[in-house]
Structure 1
Amino acid sequence: MSAENALYTILVEKIKQDALVLPTLPAIALKVRQAADDPDIDLGKMSDIIAQDPALSLGMLKVANSVVFGRAVKVESVTQAVTRIGLRQIKSIATAMAVEQMFISNNEVVSEYMHLTWRKTVDVASIAIALMTLYLQKNKHAAFTLDTITLAALIHNIGALPILTEAESHPEVFAKPIFLQQAIINLASKIGGEVTKAWDFPEEFTELVTSWSDLTLLPKEAHYLDFIRAGAIYHEIFKSASTRDILLKSYVTKGILPDVDFMQTAEFNELVAQVKTMFE
């Protein structure tokens, strides 16, 4: 049996037996999530928790000063950032900012693959967040939130992480990136759903992670799935031109896009570039 087939068989079997080692959220993300669920938490206490982690503190400052949450006045402290973002949204945003910390490996080759996977995730997320920002400007009473799309978009392909970790035991497969890509395409959504369950995320996130690439599911009304899929269209993750055309036309009908070519405009790409600064 080839190394590629062996790894694929191992992954499938571990999924069946619920034996696949799933990633755990960084400790700081768990602290923030637990604190956010405390009815007695206040901005000061939350700021103190976030300030314990320099990387997360920097990430929160970038978010607070981004085009998504920013105002004319730049915030320069964690307390100001938490105040601007708000306790209601801090749980998802802090988790989203901590996710990047999991895409690391001591193996140089695996680390490079994880870096590339994370960058692709950021690319998709930046499109989704930019579109949601514009959508909410025009639909102020829509039942969507920027913190939800930020977290959902940044974990939409989280299932790739356990696959890469498992592949670390089979270094031969890294010489054939096409196989790894296929393994991720075929298994990442299912594995990602298990990750969100292990992290005790709301069912909404599990549904988004397991369904974003399943194009048999086409919501009639605007849905978080649409924004993530728009990112996948932009970055040509969906290969079928006819599929992309159908989806883009449906997004125009739903009011997500003003026209099918909008994502190619300089105006939109400038917004995407500004959104991406949150992750750099």
Structure 2
Amino acid sequence: MGAENALYIILIEKIRQDALVLPTLPEVALKVRQAADDPDISLMKMSEIISHDAALSLGVLKVANSAAFGREVKVESVAKAVTRIGLRQIKNIATAMAIEQMFVSNNHFISDYMQKSWRKTVDVASVAIALMTLYLQKNKQSELTLETLTLAALIHNIGVLPILTEAEGHPEVFANPAFLNKAIIKFSNEIAAEMTKAWEFSEDYSELVMTWNDLSVLPKNAHYIDFIRAGAVYHTIFKNESTQEFLLRSYVDKGILPNLNFMASEDFSDRLAKAKSMF
């Protein structure tokens, strides 16, 4: 039995038996998400929740003072940082910081792979956020939201984590770059969908992580998946040139891109740098 098939059987069997160890969001991230969904939550109460976690507090201050928020006056308190960022975006920033902390391993090879996976996720998410920000400026009546897109982009590849964790437990069999790449391509979407369900995210997120790289799924109108795919095109995750051109033309038609060459422009580079400064 090949290593790839062995891992497939291990993963699928664990999923069927509800025995696959799915990473859980840290408690502080869960508290922030629950609080943000409370219609009666106050900025002060949210600040108190965040202040109980030193790493999250520092991260929120960094984001509030980043280029993404374009303010020259620096904030020095969590309360002011929360006010600047806003309750809805705070939820996703806390989730992003929690997810980043999951990409760690005691195995040197797996740790490197996890860090590369997280950096790739941030790269794609930054492009998606930059394009969504521009899109919403021109389409103020759109039902799409930056908050939903941010979370979707940050979890679109989350299924790599259980695969890498399983590989860590069998380094002599699975710690092989070529094999891991194939295993991730083959299995990560299904596992990502299981994780979104375990985290009690809406079904829309489960569908997105299952189909973001399935190009047989082509939304007619502008959709969150389009912005994530635009990030995949920009970072050549979709390597076929005809596929890249087809997607870019469709994004021009949908109003996601002003023109075919927009992502090569200085304007986009500036927007991308601001988006990435949040991470």
Residue 134 (structure 2) pairs with residue 134 (structure 1) = yes
Please name the residue that 1:42 is paired with.
42
Distance (whole Å) between structure 2 residues aligned to residue 204 and residue 237 of structure 1: 23
- The alignment partner of 1:55 has SS state of helix
Deviations 1:145-196 (A, max 9, x none): 2221111111110000011001111113455212111111111111101101
Please name the residue that 2:224 is paired with.
224
5 Å-filtered alignment, 1:1-280, equals 1-173=1-173, 175-279=175-279
User: Could you tell which deviates more after superposition, 177-186 or 80-89?
Assistant: 80-89
User: Could you tell which deviates more after superposition, 102-111 or 216-225?
Assistant: 102-111
TM-score by length of 1: 0.93
Distance (whole Å) between structure 2 residues aligned to residue 174 and residue 266 of structure 1: 42
CA contact (8 A) 2:133 2:146 kept: yes
Query: What amino acid does structure 1 have at the position aligned with 2:126?
Result: S
Distance (whole Å) between structure 2 residues aligned to residue 121 and residue 12 of structure 1: 24
User: Could you tell which deviates more after superposition, 214-223 or 9-18?
Assistant: 9-18
- The alignment partner of 1:168 has SS state of helix
CA contact (8 A) 1:125 1:153 kept: yes
User: Could you tell which deviates more after superposition, 214-223 or 105-114?
Assistant: 105-114
Unaligned runs of 5+ in 1: none
Q: CA deviation at 1:200?
A: 0.5
Q: CA deviation at 1:59?
A: 2.2
Q: CA deviation at 1:49?
A: 0.9
Name the count of aligned residue pairs.
Answer: 279
RMSD (Å) for aligned C-alpha atoms? 1.8
User: Could you tell which deviates more after superposition, 200-209 or 265-274?
Assistant: 265-274
Identity between Structure 1 and Structure 2 (%): 70
Query: What amino acid does structure 2 have at the position aligned with 1:114?
Result: M
CA contact (8 A) 1:109 1:174 kept: no
Deviations 1:68-105 (A, max 9, x none): 44445333321112112222333233212321111111
